Structure 1
Amino acid sequence: MNAVATPASAWVTPLPAGRALRIGLSRIRYEVLGYFRQTDTVFFTFLFPVLMLTIFSTAFSSQSFGPPGDEVTAAAYYLPAMLAAGILLSGVQNLGVDIAVERSDGTLKRLGGTPLPVTSYFIGKIGQVFVTAVLQSALIIAVSAIAFQVPLPTDASAWLTFAWVFLLGVATSAVLGIAISALPRSGKSATAVIIPIALVLQFISGVYLSFTMLPEWLQSVAGVFPLRWMASGMRAAFLPASFEAAEPGGSWGLATGALVLAAWLVVGLVACRLTFRWIRKDG
């Protein structure tokens, strides 16, 4: 008789919501420690935005950016983009590769044989993204302020904008990272499948290039994805108000950005529910 693929949620006895939450919270520490034990992961997801900020700030140190009278340094100009890119890397790239590897090396199969609920596993992974993204953002901001003398916002509303863009961006990136982990057919192919996706999104979303430099059709394509709106939201928080006129439509588009991020969050949650298995269907 042929084996029938069983949904992961049916492999364990359901636990009360409170206990599943406690188990998930306890896994956050385990996931964070595991993250920082992986040298390549720390470099390519945690330190990479800091490295890129340093390179751009140094390479364009003699140039200023922005409208006359409101010019900013290269470090100040690239700070918002690197914050947005860091969120994407911590969530989509890191979780996508990490979970694909765990599925390939048998870690998920072993977890599937324990009482660990899928919900608790997700909480641990999403919590790890939140903790590492907080540390990473703090490091990027500190490097900008201390090493490159970037003036930080003094308006509470700017920090409020940063907070909601950060939180919504982290949640969206994390669930999309879990969802995209189903694409690679093996752990060995995970980086080859997922990293190019993250890299292309960075180039078309105004991270390394000014968004308005891109053709209008490519701006429209980028507008479908969350990174373009995370970058715009971070610019709204850290750049002078005069920079808003240079955005498409002359607006930061914060309301639109919130809707796009929320929509992708829902899409990611649905995709996680439909695609996540402790083992592949064809495993």
Structure 2
Amino acid sequence: MNPTLHAARLGLSRGWVEFKHQLTSPQDTGFAVVSTIAFVVVLYFQRDAKVPGTDVSLAAATLPGMLGLMIPLNGLIGAVGALSVEREDGTLLRAKALPQGMVGYLVGRVVSLSLSTVVSLVVMIVAGLFFVPGLTGIGPGGWLAVVWITALGLLASLPLGAVIGAVAGSPQAAAGLSMLAVGGLTAVSGIFYPISALAGWLQALAHVFPLYWLGLGMRSALLPDAAAAAEIGGSWRPVETTLVLLAWAVAGLLLAPPILRRMARRESGSLVEERRQRALQRIG
């Protein structure tokens, strides 16, 4: 059997095992659980409100943005955190020692993070079926669009998270960089409000990054066609959404492997021990 394919198959199995372990580990699922519950609570309090001047439920207008934001929150930040921590505790060094071990490791991490993100999205959608009027009327095309945007969003987010986790010097630095990236992009993405309210240069900046397009794609899937009037050009722009997210996914998939290989080549037992001693000194 081809060694790479064998490693990928082992990675799939590992990812499934890690995902099942996460479901029973509060420490591993804490961030995802808290963020998902917070979003559900927001939907609950918005369930009876309307967007001013329209018949659109405020919860219906908010849900697509929440779904779009949940993907980089779980995918990018999860990848950054896992990679930086497992770099420190020696997991990556052990993976490096196996034939095609990094391939198996990366496949496993992608599988586990993707599954945990999908679970969070499903919980929010189920809550939306109770709190968002009209969501039950979304046809098969709308749900297929949600699946498609989710897949593209994960492909765009996970490699970027792997890159940040690989270049960061410590888990603390990795966490800071990932939160800064997601927070900054959220502020200018228009994911919860019409981007037309921002200055022109901020609109152009938002168009470069995937978060704006994730929000737009989710709104196109879950909101009525008339809501497109609030978007730039009065259109959902499905072709542009797909192309931008695909471009980020391809760029990340091309960029992440060489950076990860370079990072793995630098790993050694002495470096792991040095980082462990520094961590013990901080605790002490």
**Structure 1 equivalent of residue 149 of structure 2:** 165
Q: CA deviation at 1:131?
A: 1.1
2:13 pairs with 1:26: yes
* Equivalent residues of 2:93, 2:267 under 8 A apart: no
2:44 equivalent to 1:64 = no
CA distance in 2, matches of 1:83, 1:270: 26
Partner of 2:168: 184
Structure 1 segments (4+ residues) deviating >3 Å:
33-41, 60-63, 147-150, 279-283
Q: Deviations over 1:177-209 (max 9, x none)?
A: 212212321123221221121122222222344
Instruction: Determine the C-alpha separation between the residues in 2 that align with 1:266 and 1:114.
Output: 27
Q: Is the 8 A contact 1:67 1:243 kept in 2?
A: no
How many residues of Structure 1 are paired with residues of Structure 2 in the alignment?
267
1:107-256 residue pairs with structure 2 within 5 A? 107-149=91-133, 151-256=135-240
Mind listing any 5+ residue stretches in structure 1 that lack a counterpart?
Answer: 1-13
Taking only the aligned residue pairs, the percentage that are identical comes to 30
- Asked whether the 8 Å contact 2:32–2:120 carries over to 1, the reply is no
Residues 49 and 85, structure 1, Cα contact 8 Å, conserved in 2:
no
**How far is the alpha carbon of 1:172 from its aligned partner?**
1.7
Structure that is richer in helix per residue: 2
Provide the rounded CA distance (Å) in 2 between the counterparts of 1:259 and 1:30.
33
Q: Is the 8 Å Cα contact of residues 43 and 128 (structure 2) preserved in structure 1?
A: no
Contact 2:11/2:106, CA 8 A, preserved across alignment: yes
CA RMSD of aligned residues (A): 2.4
Closer/same/farther in 2, CA of residues 76 and 43 from structure 1, 3 Å limit: farther
Q: Supply the distance in 2 between the matched residues of 1:209 and 1:62 (Cα, whole angstroms).
A: 19
Q: Determine the C-alpha separation between the residues in 2 that align with 1:118 and 1:143.
A: 38
Q: Secondary structure at 2:169's aligned position in 1?
A: coil
1:278 to 2:264 alignment = yes
Distance (Å, rounded) in 1 between the aligned partners of 2:134 and 2:89: 44
2:171 alignment partner, SS class = coil
Identify if the C-alpha distance between structure 1 residues 280 and 49 changes in structure 2 by more than 3 Å, giving closer, same or farther.
farther
TM-score (norm 2): 0.84
| Pair 1:55 & 2:39 matched | no
